[in-house]
């Protein structure tokens, strides 16, 4: 007896690991931020809405992989500190970190989507999505959120850090608002404080040697200091002072959070006296 096609359809996966198609099939709304909105029209009074924004995130290579640090401040408008414990560095999976700056609501929703998309692909197709595939997925989300950005409702910019198993090294990628992707050699940064410390990042690289040769401790000290500098120059960035920043690494062993004790030691050192080394 031949099996009727209808039965196969009822059970067999037709979406081939594509999470967007799975959601569409199930009628779950996709995170196409602002789809259907007239992009040409700015929303009246959008600047008065209370929207959380993340601020400075830094990604630097070190000898085992990539280190991400971020302050924990979320601001609204130009002066309101909305929240001081925001998490801006998140694991997308066991070999990929995302650091987010910009509209917090959109970024967090995008992260949730990407996490599910990657693990859905891996579990349904029985192989991990390639790094290239993951990066393209991020691009798609960004270009999808463009209408919202144009309306003045804000967008977000991610820095992706990944451990590339084939090349056995950490890699860093940043994006523009339209979803173009760029790979950087040593470091990447995003957020309102990022522009202000780019020169400093260059200086550190020239004076201390390339980041990918530094130990985790060295890289951590340099990047936390840079975060403190960003906080000095940018009102929307929380520095080392009150709330500890967040630091995560991605290496061949996977994603790990830098322990609080280590951060505290560096915080105390950085805030107390100029370094003697």
Residue 82 tokens read as 């909305």
Residue 39, Cβ neighbours under 10 Å: how many? 14
Helix (H) / strand (E) containing 133 = helix 131-144
Q: Give 37 or 256: the residue with its C-beta nearer to another protein.
A: 256
* Binding residue (CB under 8 A) for another protein from 35, 87, 113, 186: 113
* Binding residue (CB under 8 A) for another protein from 36, 126, 199, 242: 126
65-70 vs 246-251, strand pairing mode: antiparallel
Helix (H) / strand (E) containing 89 = strand 89-93
Residue 77 tokens read as 């408008």
- Cβ–Cβ under 8 Å, residues 50 and 105: no
Residue 103 tokens read as 């509209």
Residue 199, Cβ neighbours under 10 Å: how many? 9
- Cβ–Cβ under 8 Å, residues 140 and 18: no
Q: What are the percentages of helix, strand and coil residues in the chain, rounded to 5?
A: 40, 25, 35
Stretch of residues binding another protein (CB under 8 A), selected from 13-21, 42-50, 58-66, 145-153 = 13-21
Tell the smallest beta-carbon distance from residue 48 to another protein (Å). Answer: 31
Q: Give 38 or 94: the residue with its C-beta nearer to another protein.
A: 94
Positions in 20-49 near another protein (CB under 8 A) = 22-23, 26, 28
Q: Is 75 a catalytic residue?
A: no
* Binding residue (CB under 8 A) for another protein from 116, 140, 181, 208: 116
Positions in 185-214 near another protein (CB under 8 A) = none
Tell the smallest beta-carbon distance from residue 97 to another protein (Å). Answer: 11
Positions in 227-256 near another protein (CB under 8 A) = 254-256
Q: Give 225 or 250: the residue with its C-beta nearer to another protein.
A: 250
- DSSP-derived 3-state class of residue 54: strand
Q: Give 126 or 273: the residue with its C-beta nearer to another protein.
A: 126
Counting contacts by CB under 8 A, is residue 7 touching another protein? yes
* Binding residue (CB under 8 A) for another protein from 91, 150, 200, 270: 91
Instruction: Give CA angle at 263 (91, 204), nearest 5°.
Output: 85
2 CB contacts (<8 Å, ≥6 apart)?
A: none
Counting contacts by CB under 8 A, is residue 119 touching another protein? yes
Cα gap 120→128, rounded to integer Å: 9
Tell the smallest beta-carbon distance from residue 112 to another protein (Å). Answer: 7
Size of the site for another protein (CB under 8 A): 30
State CA 216 to chain mean position distance. Answer: 20
Tell the smallest beta-carbon distance from residue 96 to another protein (Å). Answer: 10
Counting contacts by CB under 8 A, is residue 10 touching another protein? yes
Catalog residues that contact another protein under the rule CB under 8 A: 1-4, 7-8, 10-13, 15, 19, 22-23, 26, 28, 91, 93-94, 112-113, 116, 119-120, 123-124, 126, 254-256
Supply the residues annotated as catalytic: 55
């Amino acid at each position: 007896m031949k099996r009727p096609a209808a039965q196969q359809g009822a059970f067999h996966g037709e979406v081939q690991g594509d999470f967007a198609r799975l959601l569409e099939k199930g009628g779950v709304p996709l995170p196409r931020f602002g789809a259907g909105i007239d992009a040409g029209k700015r929303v009246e009074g959008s600047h008065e809405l209370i929207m959380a924004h993340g601020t400075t995130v830094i990604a630097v290579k070190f000898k085992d992989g990539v280190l991400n640090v971020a302050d924990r401040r979320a601001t609204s408008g130009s002066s309101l500190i909305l929240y001081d414990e925001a998490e801006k560095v998140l694991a997308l999976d066991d070999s990929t970190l995302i650091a987010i700056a910009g509209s917090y609501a959109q970024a967090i929703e995008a992260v949730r989507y990407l996490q599910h998309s990657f693990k859905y692909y891996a579990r349904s197709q029985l192989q991990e999505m390639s790094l290239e595939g993951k990066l393209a997925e991020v691009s798609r989300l960004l270009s999808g959120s463009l209408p919202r950005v144009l309306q003045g409702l804000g967008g977000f910019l991610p820095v992706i850090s990944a451990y590339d198993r084939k090349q056995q090294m950490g890699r860093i990628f940043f994006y523009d608002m339209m979803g173009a992707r760029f790979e950087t050699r040593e470091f990447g940064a995003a957020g309102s404080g990022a522009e202000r410390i780019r020169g400093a990042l260059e200086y550190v690289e020239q004076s201390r040697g390339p980041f990918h040769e530094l130990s985790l401790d060295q890289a951590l000290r340099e990047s936390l200091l840079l975060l403190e500098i960003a906080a000095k120059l940018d009102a929307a960035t929380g520095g080392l002072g009150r709330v500890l920043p967040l630091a995560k690494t991605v290496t061949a062993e996977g994603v790990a959070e830098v322990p609080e004790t280590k951060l505290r030691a560096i915080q105390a050192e950085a805030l107390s006296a100029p370094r003697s080394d």
